[in-house]
Amino acid sequence: MNKNLKRMATMQNMQKTGLELFYTKGYYNTSIDDILKELSLSKGAFYYHFSSKEDFFIEIVQNLLARKVYSLLIEPIEGHENPFELISNCFEEALETAVHNEMDFGFILGNFISEFNGRNPKIMKHLNDVLKIWEVNLVSTLQRGKFNGYIDRHTDSEAVAVFLISSFLGIRTMMVETAPSALKYRFMHQIKVYFKAIEAKKENV
């Protein structure tokens, strides 16, 4: 096999199973040996490609987490259609993967933020960057919605974005152990109730 390809392959394998294990068992509760065992690789291989456990994790955040958040939570809401529908559908899909116990990257992000909060400033910076990107793009979508006459012009887009993200992170935390399907249904309904409150009023029909 081509050397460069092999290099890329092993690095990506490590990062992929690394993310899976960090996600399911937590960062501090997952050893590098756990990851290597899964791949039948050795310590030498790991420290040849990565300089430390911390740097390894940061590369995962940038290569996997950030990109997935972008493709699953940002791109889908970039259009000029009704922003309420764009966001609803996006959340709906993200929560549906959660119901099926698959990896939902918005949640993974929130989970890691909880784990590193006040414990590892360096990692937190990278996680906050990803969160910020999500927030900024949500604000853009909401501003577009105002411009296109969907959202009431008195609405504070930043506040709405924060509120949406926080409620999403929160519901995902709650969904893990108790009746995720029912929770999803209720949550999505209340999100729509909330949207109703900030939609543009048709004052003169």
Binding site for DNA (CB under 7 A): 1-4, 6-7, 10, 30-34, 40-45, 47-49, 52-54
Query: Could you give the CA distance from residue 30 to residue 8 in angstroms, rounded to a whole number?
Result: 23
Phi, psi of 115 (to 5 degrees): -65, -35
Nearer to DNA, 57 or 187 (CB): 57
Nearer to DNA, 122 or 132 (CB): 122
Write out the DSSP string of 113-144.
HHHHTTT-HHHHHHHHHHHHHHHHHHHHHHHH
Q: How far is the CB of 12 from a copy of itself (least distance, A)?
A: 25
**Minimal distance, residue 90 CB to a copy of itself, in Å:** 16
DSSP assignment of 16-65 equals HHHHHHHHHH-STT--HHHHHHHHT--HHHHHHH-S-HHHHHHHHIIIII
Q: Which is nearer to DNA, 2 or 204 (CB)?
A: 2
Which residues of this protein are in contact with a copy of itself, per CB under 8 A?
Answer: 24-26, 28-29, 110-111, 113-115, 117-119, 124, 128, 131-132, 156, 158-160, 162-163, 165-171, 173-174, 176-178, 183, 186-187, 189-191, 193-194, 196-198
